[in-house]
Each structure stands twice: as structure tokens, then as C-alpha cells.
Amino acid sequence: MKFTKMHGLGNSYIYVDLFQEQLKEEELPQLAVEVADKNKGIGSDGMILVCPSEAAHVKMRVFNNDGSEAKNCGNGLRCVAKFAYEQGYVRDTTFQIETLGGLVEATVHLKGELVEEVTVNMGQPRLARKDLPMVGDPEEQVIAEPIERNGHLLEMTAVSMGNPHAVFFVDQIAAAPVETLGPVLEKDEIFPEWVNVEFVEAVNATELHFRVWERGSGITQACGTGACAAVVAAVLNDKVKKGDEITVHLLGGDLKITWTTDGDVLMTGAAETICTGEYIRK
């Protein structure tokens, strides 16, 4: 199986080109686990399939490194856009990508013939409990809701960017309990499909520090949808303003994110190719 390893701010996936390769549906979860294994596989946060689409120019499917399939991936979208453009599967610099969480629009920014950065219009965040999903009144929003776990009293804001995020503001990002509370909150009974967990420090009116415990992958260097959710949560908690471009500092680098006054979330950041190769399947 031919593959390309790519990353967005250190959030790496093994990309498989389903315009060329054929894979059996029932083998996908186990394949994702195998290729992501850093000792016996290639090593990554998961696997992403770049597929033909009937609804858009290209379709993305994302698998976490535990084999679970997610509905969206921000860093993956930027890499899929780079891959599709550089392979010649799309010719325009702005095109649509289908995800299990809906359609998004990507615009590639070129340096010569190669894509250096990508802006993705991630669409509108969904804020009702049913959108995560989360237990409780399905239509209600969750903004700064107190929650106590393992002796930590935190305030939670819940945002769906096609996939679910629970955002917690902290005073100091360096002291955020990512490793200890992340796995506890990820599988908390209030989230029937589990959740991505983000800790965020509001530095000033245009900057956020960000750490993530990703559902199905654990700590990663960056989470694009999580960074978008963090900006939406920061607006909802009066820490930054809607319409302003916010720089989100992640472990692997920075993303520029705006929750526009029209309601869409725009994300701009790098997408990079690490290597290509052939994976020998057992």
C-alpha cells in the first residue's frame, strides 16, 4: 500500500490515496492502528483516506490511532487540500472537501507550484448538546458549565466543529492537567460518543495558548478542529471578539482562526509532506 506521511503543526497522519489504492472497508480500523504504531508501523496520530467524492471535489476520512473513525480533522483538511492540489485532483485554488461532518471549502496558498499554507472555511460551529452529543436537554448550549472531576473544579464550554470538543479555560497553560484529566473527560459518561478535550489560556484579546487530549489519539502536537472550538469558546466566554483574527499557539506551531461575524470559522495554517513510501501489509 503506497502512503504519504504528512503533518499539520506536528499532528501527523498516514495519508492513503483512494484515487489509486483499493482498501477493504472492514480492514480500515485495524489498518489505522497498525500504520500509526511507532514501533511496528510507520508512526502517526492516525490514518487519513483521500477519496473521490460525489458531493465535492475530494473526500476526507479520518481514523484515530485507536482505529475509531472521526467526522472531522482540521489539520487533516489542510493536508488533504495540499495533497489533492499537488496530485492534480483539483485545478482551482479554492475547492470543496467532503467530510463525515459536512462540506468545507479549502483555499490553498502556493509557494511556486507547492502548497505552503491552506485556509479552510470550517463552516458554522454547532453548540447544542445534541450536536456533540452530550447528555441533558438536547437544544441547550453548554457555556462555562461547572464540572468537578478528580478534585479539579473546571468550567466547560462544549462546541461541535463536526466533531465534539469540550473546552476548559485555565490560568496557566503549563499547569493544565492534560495528561491526567484528558483521558478521564474524554470518556466521561456525559459524552456518549466521547470527546476531544482542550485546555486553553487566554493570553490577550488576540492570542490563546492551547493543549489537547484528542479522542482516540491522546496528546497530540495540534488539533485544528480543537483550535477552532477554542476560539469559538473564547468568544462565548467574552475572552476574545467575534470577527477578530486570533492566533492560537499549539505545541506544534500557530494557527490563525477567525469566527467571522457571518458565523463561519476560518482556519489558516501550514500543511507539510514528510515522506512517501510503501507499507508492507501483514
Ligand X SMILES: N[C@@H](CCC[C@H](N)C(=O)O)C(=O)O
In the complex, the smallest distance separating the C-beta of residue 73 from ligand X, rounded to whole angstroms, is 4
Q: Please tell me which residue in 51, 79, 223, 275 is annotated as part of the active site.
A: 223
Instruction: List Cα–Cα distances, 253 to 77, 116, 268, in angstroms.
Output: 17, 14, 12
Q: Residue 214 is placed in which grid cell?
A: 484528542
Rounded CA separation 239/134 (Å):
24
Q: Please tell me which residue in 51, 73, 79, 275 is annotated as part of the active site.
A: 73
| Residue 73 a catalytic site member | yes
Rounded CA separation 46/15 (Å):
9
Q: Residue 127 is placed in which grid cell?
A: 453548540
From residue 22 to residue 61, the character string flagging contacts with ligand X as x (rule: CB under 6 A) and all else as - is ----------------------------------------
Phi, psi of 280 (to 5 degrees): -90, 115
From residue 123 to residue 162, the character string flagging contacts with ligand X as x (rule: CB under 6 A) and all else as - is ----------------------------------------
Q: How many CA atoms lie within 13 A of 248 on its CB side?
A: 33
Chain-centroid distance, C-alpha 110: 22
The residue (of 11 and 240) whose beta carbon lies closer to ligand X is 11
Instruction: Identify residue 117 by its one-letter amino acid code.
Output: E
| Residue 223 a catalytic site member | yes
The residue (of 130 and 281) whose beta carbon lies closer to ligand X is 130
In the complex, the smallest distance separating the C-beta of residue 70 from ligand X, rounded to whole angstroms, is 3
Closest to 233 (Cα-Cα) out of 186, 187, 200: 200
The residue (of 57 and 78) whose beta carbon lies closer to ligand X is 78
Does 64 help bind ligand X (rule: CB under 6 A)?
yes
Angle, vertex CA 107, rays to CA 101 and CA 110, nearest 5: 140
Q: Is 129 annotated as a binding residue?
A: no
Q: Is 224 annotated as a binding residue?
A: yes
Q: Residue 202 is placed in which grid cell?
A: 487566554
Chain-centroid distance, C-alpha 99: 12
From residue 88 to residue 127, the character string flagging contacts with ligand X as x (rule: CB under 6 A) and all else as - is ----------------------------------------
Burial readout 11-28 (b: 16 or more C-beta within 10 A, e: otherwise): bbbbbbbeeeeeeeeeeb
The residue (of 197 and 235) whose beta carbon lies closer to ligand X is 197
Q: Is 237 annotated as a binding residue?
A: no
What residues numbered 188-247 form the site for ligand X, per CB under 6 A? 196, 214-217, 220, 223-226
Q: Is 39 annotated as a binding residue?
A: no
204, 241 contact by CB (below 8 A)? no
Q: Which residues bind ligand X (CB under 6 A)?
A: 11, 62, 64, 70, 73-76, 163, 196, 214-217, 220, 223-226
Catalytic sites, residue numbers: 73, 223
Annotated binding-site positions for substrate: 11, 64, 74-75, 163, 196, 214-215, 224-225
